[in-house]
Chains A and B, each alone.
Chain A
Amino acid sequence: MNANSLSTADPIIICRDVHKWFGNYHALRGIDMDVRRGEVVVVFGPSGSGKSTFIRTINRLEEHQRGQIIVDGIELTHDVRNIERVRMETGMVFQQFNLFPHLTVIDNITLAPIWVRGWTKAQAEEIAMQLLKRVGIPEQARKYPGQLSGGQQQRVAIARALAMQPKIMLFDEPTSALDPEMIKEVLDVMVELAESGMTMIVVTHEMGFARAVADTMYFFDQGQIVESGTPEQIFGDPREARTKLFLSQILSH
């Protein structure tokens, strides 16, 4: 997709031997992944495979207990300042949208730019309106999240994350909580974002989306990366039996 930016082999995210335990349960068992600037990564796999846990370690919503994660040259450690710097550079979109229900759409979007980046209200609102136009719902700016449909809420959530002008966008199953007719409107926004050159890690089962825009796909199972490759390799000629089985299960109908 982004052949030009990919040629500069300059990883913006480096994960080395990342481990994570929940109590005794070994959720991530040695994840290695490099993501280059502008690369679109799709992570897929059965539920409980650790894919959501993994994406959440990248902005430290989950703490990894072994290994190394370096985001844009900043290593994630216990240092709170580093964590906040990484979070400023990393936008995240959640399965359940997680908009702030007590704030209007525009206030949801401008809150972090004003309070974290220190922009003026006017400046933040101008950018927020541009983003709302980009995701196609400028007319909803003064409404509350509860008055919007699921698809509209998720598009606001994308705009909210983009308002911080992040270098990386993380999507944690962004369409899994949506009614079928709303999935497309969210995927359209994500495709446009991918084509604009944004670095993205997307946890999703939308294989059409993966085929269209992914540069690299990673198949997760039981806390490990079983297989990775371009969409052509993964869909056309998967090496591992587990990958074949999983793909046949989700693509069978």
Chain B
Amino acid sequence: MSANTPTVSKSADVLPPPTERYSVVRWLHKNLFSTWYNTLLTIIMLALAGLIVRNVLEWALTQARWDVITVNMRLFMVGQYPVNELWRIWACVVLLAFLIGMSWGIWGRMQRGGAIAFGALPFLLAIVTSDDTSRVALIATGIAGVIGYALSWRWCGILQRASIVGWILYFPILFILVNGIGGGDSPLPSVPTNLWGGLLLTLLLTVVGIVFSFPIGVLLALGRQSKLPVISWLCVGYIELIRGVPFISVLFMAQLMLPLFLPGVTIDRVVRAMAGVVIFSAAYLAENVRGGLQSIPRGQYEASYALGLSSWKMTLLIILPQALRAVIPILVGQFIALFKDTSLVVIVGLLDLMGIARTVLAQPDFLGLQAEVYTFIALVYGVFCYMMSAFSQRLEAKLHIGR
């Protein structure tokens, strides 16, 4: 630019950004074969990947004995839950599918591809399964999801509140259905918790862990910041004590100490394990939430006070919504870790998904099939973790973090 020509933009200077169009060949050349050593690396890696994929496929399709999974599928899913009462579990699943379908339609309209993939899942499983009862139930699940989705498209506004109420009611309903009420002659005879197992137990531990540790963790985080020294010391003491102890010992303590602390009251073994999960998770959650609280600038507090908001209204309306939003990725990360950590309840004798895997491997018919069983377990864990993390990403996008 020479010094004596002034640069004046004309309207014609407003140009679209440059677009680079790649042909496949150019893309390959740029990304994989740009230099001789990149070419070499590409070839070696391709060969290696091909070898691994071929071997895995060969094992999975010809050598692996997947009958260990299909024969024991019910065990993996629900443990020793009585066959006659299985309809209750299916009822929970169908209801869940309905709620998910409805919520998806209300809040996740943009993700239509995901909705179709997710909605097709029960139908695909229905094709794969060999058991007729399961097939019917899976188809019912799929239909419930589709109905929920369709309803929400039609009556989005009205159903918004209904679906929130539905989710809140879902958890007590889940427990009444799974646990049952009354003795043998009632329509819902109670099922002792030592029969709960498999994926059902894993998910119950996780859900209870999340639902109860969340409010407790938030209260602990707020309490830690309290100006009243007694409250803040108590919270700090709790958080640091629990964080200084391995999860297994918290589980053991919940199992052994709770009956000692509460003599005369018999607390169910599964409930004790749930208590252990909640006690442990709440301490970590409190620290994560505290991170969010500290990210709120002082001006937000001052503006709230200047408007005359009381401390608790400010906390509920201004501070927590922002603090929690800021830590959604961390919280979901913690919930995923919690989901996988529930596998440690094997230590206290509960048969969650991992525990069932061990008992299956001890069956005389299926000795030495670790590869098949653990591959299956890994897939199940993987699918659920992926769904949680995908949900978190949608949620972040929805609440436009970093807008």
Contact = CB atoms under 8 A, between A and B. Distances in A.
Contacts of A160: 307
A87 B305 contact: yes
B310 interface: yes
B299 A98 contact: yes
A139 B33 CA distance: 54
B306 interface: yes
B386 to A, nearest CB: 28
B305 A61 contact: yes
A141 B77 CA distance: 51
A98 B319 CA distance: 13
A101 B308 CA distance: 19
Interface string A78-115: 00000010011011101010111110000000011001
Nearest to A56: B302
A96 B309 contact: no
Contact of B307 (A60, A102, A116, A146): A116
B322 A111 contact: no
A115 B313 contact: yes
B303 A100 contact: yes
A209 interface: no
Interface of B: 297, 299-300, 302-303, 305-310, 313, 317-318, 321-322, 325, 403
Given A88-B308, A112-B309, A164-B308, A94 B321 contact: no
Interface of A: 59-61, 84, 87-88, 90-92, 94, 96, 98-102, 111-112, 115-116, 144, 146-147, 160-161, 164
A101 B399 CA distance: 11
A244 B297 CA distance: 37
Nearest to B303: A98
A98 B302 contact: yes
A31 B11 CA distance: 57
Contact of B322 (A94, A102, A144): A102
Contact of B403 (A90, A94, A99, A144): A144
B330 to A, nearest CB: 18
User: Closest 8 CB pairs between A and B?
Assistant: A98-B303, A98-B299, A112-B307, A92-B306, A87-B308, A88-B308, A116-B308, A102-B322
Nearest to A115: B313
A102 B401 CA distance: 9
Contacts of B302: 61, 92, 94, 98
Nearest to A92: B306
B307 A98 contact: no
B292 to A, nearest CB: 12
A102 B325 contact: yes
Contacts of A59: 305-306
